[in-house]
Structure 1
Amino acid sequence: MPTPSSVRLRIGYACGALVTGAFTTLPGLLLLPYLTDTLGVGAALAGCVVLIPKAWAVLLTPLAGRAGDRTHARRGSRRRHILTGGLGAAAGFAAMLAGVTDGAAGAAWTGLGFLLTATAFAFFQAAYAALPADLADSPRERTRLVGGRVAGIAVAALTIGSAGPAIADADGGSLAGHRWAGLFGAAVMAAGALAVAFGPAHTRPAHTRPAAPPAPPDPPRTADGAHPARRLALLREIPAFAALLRTTALQMAATGCLLAAGPYFAEHILHDPDLTPLLVAAFVLPNLLVVPLWTRFAARHGHRAGLRTACALFAGGCLLLAAAPALPAPYAPAVLLIIGTAHAGQLLFLYAMLAETTAHDSAHTGRNRVGALSGLFSAAEALGIAAGPFLVALVALQPFGYTPSTTGQAAHQSATAQWGVLAAMSLLPALLTAAALLLLRDRRPGTPAPTIAQTTGELAQPRL
């Protein structure tokens, strides 16, 4: 039975997922439609506004991870980066949706606010992703921590994904409505950052192992992830981690497509924009219910088999959405329950693999590169989530002739544009998930693979 301290630790760590969930869900749901249907920006430009700040975060996050390692080595805590990064991301989030005007000027304001948000979030996320390897000894305990993180993301996505669009649309989708949605998201992010900063990031449980020895300061020829060339060397040094990054980036892109296309799908395929919160709820609700089932599956079959199964279920569910125009309205939410079940497993296994890989690297090398590796992982997540809306805009909206609007309400779209929306919600994420499966490769042969049920205290090789 878990001790009270371990329960508090898991709850405190899970609260940080409010920041991650808010940063991922609300911009993914609102930002692209806000640009095209409220600010009147063309789909191609809107896609670039969403992509560029996230691309910047991809470059910055590994540096933030390395900085977090140095702070951890000096102070024994990552609290500073979690607190300043989380609160800075909340401030940028409010600014991002505080649009002062429409058109290109409004898009520039939104892009700058998103850039500030992404910059601060990079420091929070790199430190937050590194905590499981700092806080827990065994694969089992680390998986419990990331299981709580998955549940926390679900709570954030369910709350923000349902309330955020409702708040934005309360005033007819106007600039004022989106300002309130931005303030709401910022409050959730600030609460999550404070909970982690004054909880698990502030104290280290007595039962956990000592931290791995810190990396020497700036060794001239060490692949520590702080320089682009060293990042490449780090990926060559740990092929299992490189495989994890490839799979993570593509799968997050698939998730980003679903989030970005959801409001368009409700508006132009289901012909009821009020269904957007229901679609979001159907997608994220399984994260609160099925994580224990995926955990038991992994205990028997391993992380890699679990990820493959979850990805296959995710891709199949996306393809089923293509039949939504010909079937009753409840069909789409029902299919999204299946996709959400698969997504819960994907998140659990990806985060568990990250914790296992970083812990094994610390034990194998005797160096603390948890932050650098977690920073690269967070960069892959950010790149994937950013690529999703960008692909929706450039592959499915712009080429199919989507018409923008400045009224806060979507313009009437042609049949061709509607086909583009349907492809963005079904075919595009299915193809990205299939590619993620194809790019997942075994590490060097002959290395034993772990399971979640390994003996407490035994440090496992990562199973990818």
Structure 2
Amino acid sequence: MTDHVLPRSVRIGYGSGSVATGAFGTVPGLMLLPYLTDEVGIAAIAAGFIVFLPKAWDVVLNPVAGRISDRTVDPRGPRRPWLLRAGIALAVCFALLFAAPDMATGLEAAWVLVMFLACASAYAFFQVPYVSMPAEMTPSYDERTRLMTWRVAILAFTILLAGATAPIIRDEVGGRDGYRLMGVAMAVIILVGVLSAYRGTRAAPLGTVQPGAGTLRDQLRIVAGARDFRLLLVTFVVQALAVGCVLAGVDYLAEDVLDSTGAVTVLFAGFVGPALLLTPIWSAVGQRIGKKRGYVASSLFLAVGALVAALADTAPFGVLVGAVVLMGVGYAGCQVFPMAMMPDAAAVDARRTGSHRIGVYTGVWTAGETFGLALGPAVFALVLQLGGYRSGADAVQPDSAVTAIVLGFALLPAILILLSLWWLSRYSLDASEVSA
């Protein structure tokens, strides 16, 4: 195909992998911290450590997964076998994550830590090959944006589905059994995404993968020297940290500030729902004004919405919902643009150097995203601890803890989003350079 346009079936097939990544990326960030503090009953700071440590492990593991997938030789291609192997392992481990038997508090916490570490390891070997595929499917700047549009639209739907239904399943059953059933349900969703992506990309026109020369340390040093990739990565990681704080705070905001468990679903739908409608619009905006300008605009929407949401403990509920919807408008663009810009930066480097390192690039990228999303709940847990949050299902929270929840959910993410624009402003790649 001279215009490098991919069949719709391949776009949808590739995008369906976001069913797995969306469920795993959302539910632990939304549910695991409350599970540890309110159900298991451990202190907020210890719960934050358990949530953070396995994902921090991916910072080391993801580049390794990228290098291994670069060097995989298989009739199905270097990436697809990993989608199946690691994806099935991820689904199994996730079902076990919330399934700890009744034990002493310390043993239950250890169970969660071990299972979450297993989930994170399996996820690395699914996500890195998955994110590596677009740059190998097409060399087209615009086609990669269209491909990411499908991925982000499906991602948004999955985040909405998983994030909205997980609390409902938990609350409908109640207690430990509620968490256990929720874990199994989310594992099934992950498995559906894994199998759909594996089957849907069987006809994808993947290019020949040539592993980069030198040791892993050498490759990482070269990637670190790619200025535009580095700037984009820092922007994305800081914003992932902000989103991680938002996700971690939703359940606490609903139960301890609004005193309404049902508000979790409403707020979550308000945050993620706009992406279902606006992802194609943000994609069109990017093609008209450029990806960088689109990314800046969407970041400002997200930051302004978060600033308004900081009034959660005093403003009417309708104002809070409107603020969260505004955040969701920005969040949609903040997913579309960086995912479309990252393959551009990797492709430019490959053309300049003659060495194909997309697996290493995406390994570092995924490690950064995972690190940011994991650090968000840990930072939020630290804010809770500083605010005097009391663990336990029946604990009554002091005013300082309520204030901490609002600050961690809204004001801190707004500051982080605005801070990220300093790095994004220095990013320089545009369509002319990428398509050269």
Judge conservation of contact 1:72–1:78 (CA < 8 Å) in 2: no
- Does 1:293 find its partner at 2:281? yes
| Pairwise CA distance, 1:258 | 0.3
Structure 1 CA distance for aligned equivalents of residues 71 and 4 of structure 2: 31
| Pairwise CA distance, 1:275 | 0.8
Deviations 1:14-63 (A, max 9, x none): 11001111111100110000000000010000000000000001110011
Deviations 1:284-319 (A, max 9, x none): 111110112212221222111111111111111111
Distance of aligned partners of 1:448 and 1:67 in 2 relative to their CA distance in 1, 3 Å threshold: closer
Structure 1 residue aligned with 2:378: 390
State how 1:31-110 maps to structure 2 within 5 Å.
Answer: 31-71=32-72, 76-101=77-102, 103-110=105-112
| Pairwise CA distance, 1:448 | 6.0
Choose which of 422, 437, 460 in structure 1 pairs with 2:421. Answer: 437
TM-score (norm 2): 0.95
- Does 1:460 find its partner at 2:435? yes
Structure 2 residue aligned with 1:160: 162
Structure 2 residue aligned with 1:319: 307
| Pairwise CA distance, 1:442 | 2.6
Structure 2 residue aligned with 1:360: 348
Deviations 1:128-168 (A, max 9, x none): 10111111231111111111111111111111111111111
Which letter does structure 2 place at the counterpart of 1:262? V
5+ residue gaps in structure 2? none
State how 1:228-377 maps to structure 2 within 5 Å.
Answer: 230-236=219-225, 238-377=226-365
Choose which of 391, 407, 416 in structure 2 pairs with 1:423. Answer: 407
Distance of aligned partners of 1:410 and 1:287 in 2 relative to their CA distance in 1, 3 Å threshold: farther
Larger CA deviation: 52-61 vs 290-299: 290-299
Deviations 1:295-349 (A, max 9, x none): 2221222111111111111111111012222222222222111101101101101
Judge conservation of contact 1:151–1:287 (CA < 8 Å) in 2: yes
Judge conservation of contact 2:21–2:155 (CA < 8 Å) in 1: yes
Structure 1 CA distance for aligned equivalents of residues 21 and 240 of structure 2: 13
Counting aligned pairs with the same residue, the percent is 36
Which letter does structure 1 place at the counterpart of 2:50? V
- Does 1:19 find its partner at 2:15? no
| Pairwise CA distance, 1:171 | 2.6
| Pairwise CA distance, 1:235 | 0.8
Structure 2 CA distance for aligned equivalents of residues 293 and 155 of structure 1: 16
Which letter does structure 2 place at the counterpart of 1:423? L
Structure 1 CA distance for aligned equivalents of residues 320 and 434 of structure 2: 43
Tell me, what secondary structure is at the counterpart of 1:324? coil
Tell me, what secondary structure is at the counterpart of 2:317? coil
Distance of aligned partners of 1:123 and 1:410 in 2 relative to their CA distance in 1, 3 Å threshold: farther
Structure 2 CA distance for aligned equivalents of residues 435 and 94 of structure 1: 37
Structure 2 residue aligned with 1:454: none
Judge conservation of contact 2:4–2:138 (CA < 8 Å) in 1: no
Distance of aligned partners of 1:417 and 1:459 in 2 relative to their CA distance in 1, 3 Å threshold: closer
Judge conservation of contact 1:17–1:149 (CA < 8 Å) in 2: yes
| Pairwise CA distance, 1:417 | 0.6
Structure 1 CA distance for aligned equivalents of residues 15 and 303 of structure 2: 27
Which letter does structure 2 place at the counterpart of 1:159? L
Structure 2 residue aligned with 1:204: 204
Deviations 1:188-214 (A, max 9, x none): 1111011111221x2333xx7x43x61
Which letter does structure 2 place at the counterpart of 1:381? E
Distance of aligned partners of 1:362 and 1:170 in 2 relative to their CA distance in 1, 3 Å threshold: same
TM-score (norm 1): 0.89
Q: Give me the CA root mean square deviation.
A: 2.1
